[in-house]
Amino acid sequence: MTTLTLALAQINTRLGDVPANLEKHLALAADAHARGADLIVFPELSLTGYMLQDLAPTVAMRPAADPPALRRLLEASRELDIVAGFVEDDDAHRLYISSAYLSQGEVVHIHRKIYLPTYGLFQDGRFFGVGSTARGFTTRFGRMGLLICEDFWHVSPPYLLWLDGAEMLVCVSASPGRGLAAETGLESARWVEDISHAYAQLFSIFVAQTNRVGLEDGLTFWGAASVFAPDGRRLAQGPFFEEAVTLAEIDLAEVARLRSRLPLLRDERPDLIVRELDRLQRSGSSGGSGHGAT
Amino acid sequence: MTTPPSPSLEIDPELARRILTDFIRSEIHRAGFKRGVVAVSGGLDSAVSCLLAAQALGPENVLALRMPFRTSPAASLDDAEAVIRASGVAARTFSITEAAEPLLHLVPEGDRVRRGNILARLRMIVLYDQSAEFGGLVVGTGNKTEVLLGYTTLYGDSACALNPLGDLYKTQVRQLARHLGVSESILAKPPSADLWPGQTDEGELGFTYADVDRLLFLLVDERRSPDEVVAAGFERSFVEGVLDRIRRTQYKRMQPPIAKLSNRTVGYDFLYMRDWGT
């Protein structure tokens, strides 16, 4: 089955109140299921809220310990697949910003946020550990990749997921609005819109992104979930600033059809990337220091 | 050689209105309140805060306070009245003259700064007392220009529970005011803190909002260097004077520092949002 009805949930959250946020997840998942959705995607840290700071350890979950919130979401995932965001404790008290893909009562995949913005208003790196993998995973609809906010502001995680066979990128965020200007609205909103659109075409892939709404102190999250098809068509657009669940009909077979006439992935040269990256690393002229190097 | 910067302070006023009304509603409701209180002077900033608060909370949930001193121009009271009528909020007028006189008696006639601070802090006392009586939070009126320049009285006009205008320069507040339908009378008059007769902000500061807003936008928002803004046409003495003013008034933008002794200290490593749990 390559067709699915995707539901992108852009929700407000209560900061640090997992039980209240969980109830909202379950209610919206049931509602989306009733509207025919096969997969509902919630934003980054959807079970906890975003600017957790010292709340992070108090809301963390260890998936291996069968925490009640996860158990109830897994039960709900027997009706439709669910992507939800949470603080993950890795059993050694290292905390991550994670999102889990749940289906048929099972945890199919957990992605740990790789790029933790720690600049400007952002403090992720102060409170969380860095994820170290970008892996595609196989769902009952096809192969997908899951990324969290800053992960898709960097080109490398979407690129790696493309090479790993993903037919759809699912990008979740808690992105605060900033850079208000006359012509372009919020710069951060335009940015996410532009790169989502670009990744769809660059990688002949579906890109589905959702972002939370509401405020935390003076930060306003702008919502505006969107879905782009591999040829760049916009398939769905959620409203700005308001809670909403936006549905989109997707046929992942469209990826195969487009790639048969535009074989960018077939012709991609990972060997060239590896060779040139290796040279840049050895000559010390590559941009990033890499995590753990500082 | 970098391109000479040409700042645009144009905002999308409807988008700003949307975000700021959501902000006022969210912060007040999450603190457990439904109501807000605004000091309305007859000037531009307080007109905008009052109109935004009325839209965010409903006019019946907003109290506008007029707090004239005996030297306050009658035109300011009229302009404040126009804002109150336009926004439909409840209003009260308290003269601060009687409370101010015994305190002003202690200060030399020529010491305008001390005298002005007394008036600003008396208005704060009335505002906070009325906020308790009305059961609402104080919605601030300080814009980004005065926050950065420290052109405020600490624990006076800068005191508030939330500040919707603090990320808009004065010239941007003006764009928002126009969008909200603030009257020409308020838009056209020179900004004043009304701390002594004939006072204007631009006269006291020694430069115009139009100039300093462009400069601040380049230095702060665009992170341009002093040399770059001088190359863009700003007088070096103006640039250095403003930078010095920003540095000297940093204390006005922060909570007082706590001397760290323990392993966990408020402000350094006891970190929670105000909206914690809501």
Q: Please report, as a single letter, which amino acid is at residue A246.
A: T
Q: Is B178 on the interface with A (CB under 8 A)?
A: no
Could you give the 3-state DSSP secondary structure of residue B264?
A: coil
pLDDT digits (tens, 9 = 90+) for B217-240: 999 999 999 999 999 999 999 999
Residue A39 pLDDT > 60: yes
* Other CB atoms within 10 Å distance of the CB of residue B126: 17
Q: What is the pLDDT, as a whole number, of residue B149?
A: 98
Q: What is the pLDDT, as a whole number, of residue B1?
A: 45
Q: pTM score, two decimals?
A: 0.94
CA distances from A294 to A153, A154, A274, B84, B234 (A): 22, 20, 23, 57, 40
Give the H or E element holding residue B164.
Answer: none
CA distances from B222 to A180, B165, B218 (A): 13, 19, 5
Q: Is B29 on the interface with A (CB under 8 A)?
A: no
Quote the mean pLDDT of chain B.
Answer: 95
Using an 8 Å Cβ cutoff, are A139 and A103 in contact?
Answer: yes
Could you give the 3-state DSSP secondary structure of residue B181?
A: coil
Residue A27 pLDDT > 70: yes
CA distances from A155 to A70, A147, A173 (A): 31, 11, 16
Question: Using a CB-CB distance cutoff of 8 angstroms, which residues of chain A are in contact with residue B18?
Answer: 241
Q: Is A45 on the interface with B (CB under 8 A)?
A: no
- Spatial separation of the C-alpha atoms in residues B28 and B34, rounded to whole Å: 6
Chain A: nearest CA to B216, how far in angstroms?
15
3-state DSSP helix/strand/coil % of chain B, to nearest 5: 50, 10, 40
pLDDT digits (tens, 9 = 90+) for B29-71: 999 999 999 999 999 999 999 999 999 999 999 999 999 999 9
Q: Which residue has the tokens 């306003």?
A: A220
Could you give the 3-state DSSP secondary structure of residue B238?
A: helix
Q: Is B271 on the interface with A (CB under 8 A)?
A: yes
Which candidate, A121, A227, A129, A132, places its Cα nearest to that of A171?
Answer: A227
Could you give the 3-state DSSP secondary structure of residue A181?
A: strand
Using an 8 Å Cβ cutoff, are A171 and A147 in contact?
Answer: yes
> What value, to the nearest 5°, has the Cα angle with vertex B206 and ends B202 and B207?
65
Which candidate, A134, A12, A169, A157, places its Cα nearest to that of B25?
Answer: A12
Could you give the 3-state DSSP secondary structure of residue A280?
A: helix
Using an 8 Å Cβ cutoff, are B138 and B159 in contact?
Answer: yes
Residue-wise DSSP of B40-91: --SSHHHHHHHHHHHHHH-GGGEEEEE---TTS-HHHHHHHHHHHHHHT-EE
pLDDT digits (tens, 9 = 90+) for B98-139: 999 999 999 998 899 999 999 999 999 999 999 999 999 999
Distance of CA A226 to the CA centre of its chain: 12
Q: Do A215 and B23 touch (CB under 8 A)?
A: yes
Pull the structure tokens for residue B213: 């807003």
pLDDT digits (tens, 9 = 90+) for A62-110: 999 999 999 999 999 999 999 999 999 998 999 999 999 999 999 999 9
Give the H or E element holding residue A167.
Answer: none
Q: Is A267 on the interface with B (CB under 8 A)?
A: no
Q: What is the pLDDT, as a whole number, of residue B190?
A: 92
Positive or negative, the Cα torsion across B76, B78, B84, B86?
negative
Q: How many CB pairs below 8 A link A and B?
A: 60
Sequence-distant (≥ 6) Cβ neighbours of residue A143 within 8 angstroms: A136, A137, A164, A165, A166, A167, A168
Residue B255 pLDDT > 90: yes
- Spatial separation of the C-alpha atoms in residues B23 and B9, rounded to whole Å: 21
Using an 8 Å Cβ cutoff, are B166 and B80 in contact?
Answer: no
Nearest by CB to A15, from B19, B167, B275: name it: B275
Cross-strand bridge partners of residue A234: A228
- Spatial separation of the C-alpha atoms in residues B58 and A111, rounded to whole Å: 43
Bridge-based pairing state of the strands A39-41 and A3-10: parallel
Q: Is B10 on the interface with A (CB under 8 A)?
A: yes
Quote the mean pLDDT of chain A.
Answer: 95
Contacts 24+ apart (CB under 8 A), A125-130: A127/A52, A127/A53, A127/A54, A127/A56, A127/A95, A128/A56, A128/A87, A128/A95, A128/A96, A128/A97, A129/A90, A129/A94, A129/A95, A129/A96, A130/A96, A130/A291
DSSP state for residue A291 in the 8-state scheme: T
Q: What is the pLDDT, as a whole number, of residue A293?
A: 41
Cross-strand bridge partners of residue B64: B38, B91
Residue A12 pLDDT > 80: yes
Which chain B residue's Cα is nearest to A177?
B19
Average pLDDT on A160-165 reads: 98
Q: What is the pLDDT, as a whole number, of residue B5?
A: 62
Sequence-distant (≥ 6) Cβ neighbours of residue A203 within 8 angstroms: A158, A159, A162, A169, A230, A264, A265
Q: Which residue has the tokens 């009271």?
A: B77
Q: Can you give the C-alpha Rg of chain B in angstroms? A: 19
Q: Is A62 on the interface with B (CB under 8 A)?
A: no
Using an 8 Å Cβ cutoff, are B164 and B23 in contact?
Answer: yes
pLDDT digits (tens, 9 = 90+) for B162-178: 999 999 999 999 999 99
Q: Do B22 and A241 touch (CB under 8 A)?
A: yes
- Spatial separation of the C-alpha atoms in residues B249 and B150, rounded to whole Å: 5
Q: Is B277 on the interface with A (CB under 8 A)?
A: yes
Which candidate, B208, B197, B39, places its Cα nearest to that of B112?
Answer: B197
Q: What is the pLDDT, as a whole number, of residue B267?
A: 92
Pull the structure tokens for residue A250: 């997707």
Which candidate, A108, A156, A153, places its Cα nearest to that of A132?
Answer: A156
Sequence-distant (≥ 6) Cβ neighbours of residue A71 within 8 angstroms: none
CB-facing half-sphere around the CA of A84: CA atoms within 13 A: 32
Q: What is the pLDDT, as a whole number, of residue B6?
A: 66
Q: Do B10 and A183 touch (CB under 8 A)?
A: yes
